[in-house]
Structure 1
């Protein structure tokens, strides 16, 4: 008789993280007279991006975090976007910056990301933030990987010595989550679109992170019985990168889509915005890039 995996409830954990961020934001405001502020920058009017930004600004308002929105036309050049981000980086009234991506085919996204000051990179997209994740230095994590690590910690997943397989290698999800897992003493294998015999590698995993953007790519037969399955994919129709119906009968823990990783991404963004404000206003310390406890990450 097959068993059903325990669901990893990202919605409830995210709610608690946002409540904590709201309490800290209120304390910062009382102590300094200034509320944390997140600037959101959007190029063009892609409907999904407009919706995401609106949702993030709404969550900011509920958490007592001010937001400032800058909308640039779809015809904006890389130079214009870089100038906007440079100005925001220099503005002392702005504590965190979120550039909604993708920005469109005419924009050099890497050049745009690098215009964000590291201390305001609350989305964890700059090379400086990636290096901080890799070396365990002060900085900000990429939000989705940070949310994944918080979920693993919440459910007491013991990572030292476990084999974690990351399916996906994007610079803001696949690559950094592998770095954070490595810092937590997991043994990490990266897989991607050109990996040969992906299923056989996934079947060896104690922890699977699916972050490749292909609906139902990982099926139940690919899951090692009792493995932890993190579905960071989000495809049209609320479909993840994991075939949930078959995987749930094999995994020990699994994230649903929606309600798993997604809410955690925004929660980490808001928490890191408050961290950034605390650091810049002298009301606390900058967050550590790795949201793990006791990770050796040395040898």
Structure 2
């Protein structure tokens, strides 16, 4: 079997075009959504991610406000900045690029962001809404994957979904998203025994371990939907996921490429969340 591509670039461009049209349709005097992006330090990967988010934000006409700050910034100073951004009407969404320096508590910072400005969907309030099957602002990568499934009209209800990775960013919210879609969900993690046994039983496989080769791609179930979230590098420095793409594509019915699969969807969903924050604050959406 030769898998069809779940092309994140195509779907993301479709979403971004709709968001751009929203801005173009604003009446004179109406301001577009505003996104504040906070970056601490000079972490190369973080800088690249932030540049991409700011570029896309500008391309669709959102107001992007950059806060490039030294890694020596104290937790108290960062909290003070976020509190100011919580209060201003010029900023609808607040994104703090992770990871933060070791002296700053990630969870404290994420909980400081007002729930209606939480574009990443990490605040306990928004996570709780997802648990209750009443999400408002959803974690960007899992929600982006669901957008990908819906675009390609893939049947999910009744399927056995296996998720590799139990992080708060991908694995756990992904499990909740798939449960809402009617899947039976298995979550594997660093303490799981014989991951490949679970892989061989997966109608839907989402891998986000960040360990190249952790899965024996020959064990993937024939006809499975395969989503590789991981971003690793091979021996030649080329970007790759957790899976052997060519081998996995011989068994799967649908598969995401790396790069060009999940990454573009994460950013597009971030922009969707920015618009939702704007609408929440304009009371267009109920809270």
TM-score range, shorter chain: over 0.9
Residues 121 and 32 (structure 1), Cα distance of their counterparts in 2 relative to 1, 3 Å cut = farther
List aligned pairs for 1:261-280, cutoff 5 A: 261-280=262-281
Hey, what does 2:76 align to over in structure 1? 79
1:90 counterpart = 2:87: yes
Contact conserved, 2:164 with 2:206, CA < 8 A, in 1? yes
Native 8 Å contact 1:118 1:126 kept in 2: yes
Distance change >3 Å, CA 269–CA 286, structure 1 → 2: farther
Alignment of 1:1-299 (within 5 A): 3-27=1-25, 29-30=26-27, 33-236=30-233, 237-282=238-283, 284-285=284-285
Rounded to whole Å, the distance in 2 between the matches of 1:253 and 1:145 is: 17
What's the CA shift string for 1:157-211, capped at 9, x where partnerless? 2111110001001101110011000011100010011100110011111000001
> Aligned pair count?
283
- Aligned partner of residue 58 in structure 1, secondary structure: helix
- 2:185 aligned counterpart, secondary structure: strand
Q: 1:26, 1:35 within 8 Å by CA — same for their partners in 2?
A: no
* Root mean square deviation of aligned Cα: 1.4
Contact kept? 1:25, 1:274, Cα under 8 Å: no
Q: TM-score, normalised by structure 1?
A: 0.91
Give structure 1 stretches of 5+ with no counterpart: 288-299
Per-residue CA deviations over 1:117-150 (Å, capped at 9, x if unaligned) read: 1101111111111111111224211100011001
